Structure 1
C-alpha cells in the first residue's frame, strides 16, 4: 500500500510531504518530498 502523508494544515502547503510504501505495519520505502515555502527571509535580512 502506498500512503501519502502531509501537508497536515493548509498554511503548511508545500513544506513537506512524505510518501510511504507499506507492507502491513512494515515501511518498505519512504520518500520525503521537500517543497519550497517563501518566507521573505531576503527582506527580513535587510
Structure 2
C-alpha cells in the first residue's frame, strides 16, 4: 500500500494580468486540504479599508 504524503500547494493568482486576486497556500494530506493560508497582499485599491466600513443599513 502506498503511503500518503503531505504536500504544500501554491494556488493562484492564475494569470499575471489578473490584478486584485487571491493567492492561497494549501497544505494537503493526500487529496484532503488540512490548512489554507490566504494571502490578500495582491489586493489593492483600498479593498481592506472598504471592508472596515460598516454597511449603510447598520444602525446605532
**Between structures 1 and 2, the one with greater helix share:** 1
Structure label with greater radius of gyration: 2
For residues 9 and 16 of structure 1, what CA distance do their matches in structure 2 show?
A: 11
Q: Give the drift of 1:15.
A: 2.8
Q: Which runs of 5+ in 1 are unaligned?
A: 40-46
Number of corresponding residues: 39
Larger relative contact order (C-alpha < 8 A, sep ≥ 6)? 1
Q: Give the drift of 1:36.
A: 4.1
Please name the residue that 2:39 is paired with: 33
Give the CA RMSD over aligned residues: 1.9
- 1:12-45 per-residue CA deviation (whole Å, 9 max, x = no partner) reads 2563110000000111100010024445xxxxxx
